[in-house]
Amino acid sequence: MTGAAGTVGTTTITGTTGSTGSTGTTGITGTTGTPDTRPCSPVAARVEVVRPAAADDRGKVRAATAVTVGEDEAVFPGHYPGFPIFPGVCVIECVHLSGLRTPPPGSAGLELVAVESTRFLSPVFPGDRLAVDLVWTGGSGAWKCAAKVATERGPAAQVRLRFAAEEA
């Protein structure tokens, strides 16, 4: 579409037809106030790091985040009109973004390579605060992240993701 313009993220791309849009990364701010970057995402909510990734007393690498689902999320008008529910794929994306914000010690450049499993236990509504507890396993460039997601009402989802990483 010649001459059309759009914005998603922060990187500008000019196509061969002269159209201008953007794609790439968006800035997010952690609890320390320092900006980070993340892949383009259908989820506007910010990830708050509650507990950075660290080994616990049993040697498991654990982390925790919180994500508040805003009433202004772009997915709500169509999912579902009059009874908005946060789509399951967006819950998975919250886990993905949480993993990027809390990488295991010694890993760098995490990249999602697979959604291994998901189980949705209860709906997520506008205004819900998601508590995301992550457990990392693996190493040597291959990491798995098992997450439990809960709202104030109780468990909402269980998600397992696989990441590739450049070892630091």
- Known catalytic residues are 79
β-sheet bridge partners, residue 101: none
Three-state DSSP at 35 gives: strand
94 vs 147: CA distance, rounded Å: 10
**Burial category of 72 from C-beta neighbours within 10 Å (exposed 0-12, middle 13-18, buried 19 and up):** exposed
Q: How many CB atoms lie within 10 A of CB 59?
A: 6
Which residues touch 41 (CB under 8 Å, ≥6 apart)?
26, 93, 97
